[in-house]
Structure 1
Amino acid sequence: MQLVVREASAGPFLSQVLQQALSEQQLSALQLQQIKSKAVLMSLKFADKFYNKYKMHLLEQAAYDVIGITSLGLRALSDGDQQQALQALLSQEGIVKPFQKGWSMLSAVSRKTPGKNSLYGEVDEQLLQQVSSPPDAEDWPGWHAYQQALTEHHRHQAMQLLRQQFYQKQVFDEFEHFSLEEVLAEVVLYRAICSGDKVRQDLKKRLRQINLAEHWFSETYLLLQTEAVLSELPAENAAAIRADLGQHFIPALLRTLQFCRDYQSLQQTDATPEKLDAFEHKHGLQSPLLGWPHYLEL
């Protein structure tokens, strides 16, 4: 099993560390052989669990998986410092601890889809494919792929937290919201209009009776309302949500609030639900109504 890359600055992190150590004579042939032996054994175990260890191409794939997973964990444990990484590899646990770390990292950020099982159990197949790498690859996208998955994991966690904290119902259609911004916007808009109540599917009905104060129609007011929502969340989750929001979030929310006023005016003419829905659809095509609920008022 080869564990060396062509250049010290390219390829999977495990290979980078070994190549650098060899070039600086910090790693003996015996030590390298011991690391390789453990890697081969782990590859056999991985192939036996998830593939077929008696088929050469699957055994090779298992080796690539072990290299990628170990690289991920090794980089995390060493914070990208190759000297620390080398010491971890030369410890009694060798590559076992970095592999376990990498596997737990992948497991933590893998989305569990009901009714769809991954070949790798708790780890997403596509994510592992991105992390997996031959030892001599010129480029290793594994760390970047993990960072993207981690960001998406934080978004999903934040969406769940917002729903648990601010929605009356706790069972949601997975297609009801497509982004973290949409969830936050609906919470902010509903609470701003409905005096801080938990979100229900009754905004359009309640809008008929609400006096929309003039001072609500400002970006400053909506920014304060957004911060009021975030202040009720744990600091790390609030920080993750702030980092995810685009610069157009507040202006888009203001446009939706202005639409609320126009929608209310149409309601007061005793417009039919169909006419109101057509009005909503027309404005939605012109500009997305961020935070506006998507259901037909009956």
Structure 2
Amino acid sequence: MQLALRDNNQGPYFSRVLEYGRAEERLTDEHVTQIKSKAILMSLKLADKFYNKHKMHLLEHAAHDVIGVVSIGLIALTGEEPVASVALLQTPDGVLKCFQKGWSMLTTVSKHMHGSDNSLYGGINQLLLEKISTPPDTEEWLGWQDYQTALKDHQNQEATKVLLETFYAKVELDPLFSLGLESVLAEAVLYRIMFDDARVREDMKKRLRKIELDEKWFSVDTITLHTERALSHLPDALAQTIREDLGKHFYKELLRTLKFAKKYRELALDDASPEKLERYEQKHGMQGVLLGWQDTIEF
């Protein structure tokens, strides 16, 4: 297994740590040989399981996988601190621990990724592993950044699931709707404002003209208060994560939506034609956006 780098500041973290260990005389040639031997053995096992260990190009592919996965685990276990990383790799099961950690991390973030259920690598998304996997002498390794992106998406999916379970009457969304975490929260807050903290249902258009819209609702401060009330029903850590992730226009956009609902209600009560109501929806970009604003539900 070749683990040499052309640039000590580039390439997979695993390879960079070995180069650092050599340069700082923290790793002897014997140490490096032992670490490489363990990585080679893992590559053989990986190739035997997912590829073909008797074909050299597939064995090399498995070796690149091991380098990438170990790099991910090594960063996670040591905080990308070179001295601690070298020390961990020197332990008898250091390389294995790093690989197991990295593999577990990739399995977790692959949970919601499209195509993971049919992946060659069990529960790990194939495209994600291909990004993590890399030759040791590559000029730039972005595996950790790719993992962080996947982790962020996974966390958003998990948070969205909790929001649905907490605030929605129907947890499973129509696959035609691809709403993000912020949008799912906005739906819940808007619905709770108008319908006395009720769970979100697909009946907003049907119920709208049967209620009175309180003028006190139409302020950023009131919307912020209702948002905080909703977040108070969530675990503290999740609520704080969502607060930090909200866009700077979140509350203003909810206010805009409430104003749209008010005008739409006035038009509906004035017996506006379906065509006029539809034009008003389209003008404000609201048609088909809100879960409770289904085109198929009429007044």
Q: TM-score, normalised by structure 2?
A: 0.93
Whether contact under 8 Å (2:223, 2:254) holds in the other structure is yes
SS of aligned partner of 1:95: helix
SS of aligned partner of 1:86: helix
Amino acid in the other structure paired with 2:164:
R
SS of aligned partner of 1:175: coil
Q: Any residues of structure 2 matched to 1:193-208 within 5 Å, and which?
A: 193-208=194-209
- 1:295 partnered with 2:279: no
Partners of 1:94 and 1:216 lie apart in 2 by 58
Amino acid in the other structure paired with 1:85:
S
Cα distance change on mapping 1:123 and 1:115 into 2, 3 Å? closer
Q: CA deviation at 1:44?
A: 0.8
Partners of 1:103 and 1:76 lie apart in 2 by 11
SS of aligned partner of 2:94: coil
The residue that corresponds to 1:254 in the other structure is 255
Count of residue correspondences: 296
Cα distance change on mapping 1:8 and 1:79 into 2, 3 Å? same
Q: TM-score, normalised by structure 1?
A: 0.94
Instruction: Give per-residue Cα distances to partners, 1:102-158, cap 9 Å, x unaligned.
Output: 000000101254795011110011111111111112211000001111111111111
Instruction: Give per-residue Cα distances to partners, 1:28-86, cap 9 Å, x unaligned.
Output: 11111111111111111111111111221111111000000000000110011111111
Whether contact under 8 Å (2:219, 2:255) holds in the other structure is yes
- 1:160 partnered with 2:158: no
Q: Percent identity?
A: 48
- 1:46 partnered with 2:81: no
Partners of 2:179 and 2:267 lie apart in 1 by 28
Gaps of 5+ in 1: none
Amino acid in the other structure paired with 1:137:
T
Cα distance change on mapping 1:30 and 1:155 into 2, 3 Å? same
Q: Any residues of structure 2 matched to 1:143-154 within 5 Å, and which?
A: 143-154=144-155
The residue that corresponds to 2:76 in the other structure is 76
Whether contact under 8 Å (1:253, 1:290) holds in the other structure is no
The residue that corresponds to 2:138 in the other structure is 137
Instruction: Give per-residue Cα distances to partners, 1:194-230, cap 9 Å, x unaligned.
Output: 1111111111121112111111111111111111111
Q: Any residues of structure 2 matched to 1:203-218 within 5 Å, and which?
A: 203-218=204-219
Q: CA deviation at 1:283?
A: 1.7
Whether contact under 8 Å (1:68, 1:132) holds in the other structure is yes
Whether contact under 8 Å (1:44, 1:59) holds in the other structure is yes
Whether contact under 8 Å (1:217, 1:258) holds in the other structure is yes
Amino acid in the other structure paired with 1:122:
G
Partners of 2:275 and 2:117 lie apart in 1 by 38
The residue that corresponds to 2:278 in the other structure is 277
Partners of 1:132 and 1:294 lie apart in 2 by 44
Partners of 1:282 and 1:152 lie apart in 2 by 32
The residue that corresponds to 2:180 in the other structure is 179
Partners of 2:202 and 2:280 lie apart in 1 by 19
SS of aligned partner of 1:242: helix
Instruction: Give per-residue Cα distances to partners, 1:259-279, cap 9 Å, x unaligned.
Output: 010011011023355543332
SS of aligned partner of 2:99: helix
Whether contact under 8 Å (1:47, 1:59) holds in the other structure is yes
The residue that corresponds to 1:62 in the other structure is 62
Partners of 2:172 and 2:73 lie apart in 1 by 35
Whether contact under 8 Å (2:115, 2:125) holds in the other structure is no
Amino acid in the other structure paired with 1:171:
E
Partners of 2:269 and 2:281 lie apart in 1 by 15
Cα distance change on mapping 1:121 and 1:107 into 2, 3 Å? same
Whether contact under 8 Å (1:256, 1:289) holds in the other structure is no
Q: CA deviation at 1:26?
A: 1.0
SS of aligned partner of 1:92: coil
Partners of 1:202 and 1:32 lie apart in 2 by 65
Cα distance change on mapping 1:177 and 1:192 into 2, 3 Å? farther
Whether contact under 8 Å (1:17, 1:85) holds in the other structure is yes
Cα distance change on mapping 1:116 and 1:272 into 2, 3 Å? farther
Amino acid in the other structure paired with 2:188:
V
Instruction: Give per-residue Cα distances to partners, 1:252-295, cap 9 Å, x unaligned.
Output: 1111000010011011023355543332122217xx99756341
The residue that corresponds to 1:3 in the other structure is 3
